[in-house]
């Protein structure tokens, strides 16, 4: 097995020894669980520790000095956010994510049940629903408008532009962060993005996107002599990090009264696709190209029917406004009395 013991904190090494000796798992399974948990611990630090929030490459994050206290604050939603991360950023499919769920359950179960290092086990209710059965969570049109109206930050033009692109273009987080100035064709109102597998695609910009970009770029300032080509910059005038973009979205959701409801940066991508489908008469094949999917089977999760569409379908029935007419009865008709007697 290829396990770097010098990189791991003691509680992690103890866990690896436990599943190897006590549980008797195969070398292959131990290796996979080791890699899965190591990735989770690095991800946790990237999300929660200010020292690592500007680092996009998880492999550069050290966990050797990690303390068990950092795991005590882990909630169920953190685990789901991690699973979304490995699905979106690392292209993990169902089987790989399923194995990560098993690894997380095993790891936290060990810390809670066997070592009593945690007060609770956050994986108690952790599930991995089938994407084909789970409707993607998204903002409604009204919530999207509220979100855009509620942006209030120290760099409002940049933050408004970021969220506008997410909601209108369905961009991935990595695509937005990687966007360069020369990727945008202002004359033809389109931009080139680099998606999964280094696949390039063209995204066309509507009026809202163009206005937001122009307003932001007028405020975008660089030190004299700087050649930074990134579109979106941090206050240090360097390419903005993924974590900083997530914080911008989280703050905007909070200002709009939408925090704590399971919305995230990735949900804005769900929202863009859903609104295109609901209001733009966009079919799955077109959405596939817009979102940069390799297969329409992936796109189909976005083409779910909303309550609004279902309601409209019901109200469109030719019998929707049918009303039963009251029959005229003769007061002398004693047929009802016959029924009563029977």
Is 312 considered catalytic here? no
Task: Give the count of beta carbons closer than 10 Å to the beta carbon of residue 157.
Answer: 18
Is 304 considered catalytic here? no
Q: Is the dihedral of CA 174, 177, 181, 185 positive or negative?
A: positive
Task: Enumerate residues 6+ apart whose C-beta is below 8 A from 148.
Answer: 160, 163, 164, 167
Select from 294, 288, 265 the least CA-distant residue to 276. Answer: 288
Is 270 considered catalytic here? no
| Side-chain-side CA neighbours of residue 240 (13 Å) | 24
Tokens linked to 298: 């992936």
Catalytic residue among 42, 45, 267, 269: 269
Catalytic residue among 239, 243, 266, 267: 266
Task: Give the count of beta carbons closer than 10 Å to the beta carbon of residue 224.
Answer: 4
Q: Is the dihedral of CA 218, 223, 224, 225 positive or negative?
A: negative
Is 172 considered catalytic here? yes
> Quick one: residue 151, left, alpha or beta (phi over 0 = left, psi -120 to 50 = alpha)?
beta
Is 302 considered catalytic here? yes
Catalytic residue among 196, 201, 244, 304: 196
Residue 118: in which H helix or E strand, if any?
Answer: none
- Three-state secondary-structure class, residue 192: strand
Backbone angles phi, psi at 192, to 5 degrees: -105, 130
Is 90 considered catalytic here? no
Catalytic residue among 172, 242, 270, 288: 172
Give the 3-state secondary structure percentages of the chain, helix then strand then coil, rounded to 5: 55, 5, 40
Which residue matches tokens 């003769």? 330
- Pairing verdict, β 184-185 and 200-204: unpaired
Supply the residues annotated as catalytic.
172, 196, 266, 269, 293, 302
């Amino acid at each position: 097995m290829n396990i770097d013991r010098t990189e791991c904190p003691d509680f992690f090494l103890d866990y690896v020894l436990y599943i190897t000796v006590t549980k008797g798992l195969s070398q292959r399974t131990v290796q996979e669980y080791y890699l899965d948990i190591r990735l989770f611990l690095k991800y946790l630090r990237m999300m929660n520790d200010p020292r690592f929030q500007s680092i996009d490459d998880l492999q550069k994050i050290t966990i050797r000095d990690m303390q068990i206290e950092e795991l005590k604050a882990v909630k169920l939603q953190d685990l789901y956010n991690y699973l979304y991360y490995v699905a979106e950023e690392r292209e993990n499919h169902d089987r790989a994510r399923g194995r990560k769920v098993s690894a997380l359950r095993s790891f936290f179960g060990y810390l809670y049940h066997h070592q009593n290092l945690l007060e609770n086990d956050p994986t108690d209710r952790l599930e991995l629903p089938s994407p084909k059965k789970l409707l993607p969570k998204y903002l409604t049109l009204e919530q999207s408008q509220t979100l855009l109206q509620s942006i209030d930050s120290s760099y409002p033009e940049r933050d408004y532009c970021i969220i506008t692109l997410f909601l209108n273009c369905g961009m991935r987080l990595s695509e937005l962060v990687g966007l360069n100035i020369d990727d945008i064709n202002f004359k033809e109102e389109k931009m080139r993005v680099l998606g999964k597998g280094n696949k390039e695609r063209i995204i066309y910009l509507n009026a809202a996107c163009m206005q937001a970009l122009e307003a932001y770029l007028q405020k975008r300032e660089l030190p004299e002599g700087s050649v930074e080509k990134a579109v979106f910059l941090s206050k240090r005038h360097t390419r903005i990090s993924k974590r900083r973009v997530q914080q911008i979205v989280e703050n905007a959701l909070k200002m709009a009264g939408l925090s704590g409801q399971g919305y995230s940066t990735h949900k804005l991508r769900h929202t863009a696709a859903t609104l295109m489908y609901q209001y733009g008469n966009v079919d799955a094949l077109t959405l596939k190209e817009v979102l940069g999917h390799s297969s329409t089977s992936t796109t189909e999760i976005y083409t779910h029917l909303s309550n609004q569409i279902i309601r409209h379908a019901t109200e469109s029935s030719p019998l929707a406004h049918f009303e039963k007419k009251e029959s005229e009865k003769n007061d002398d008709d004693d047929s009802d009395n016959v029924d009563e007697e029977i």
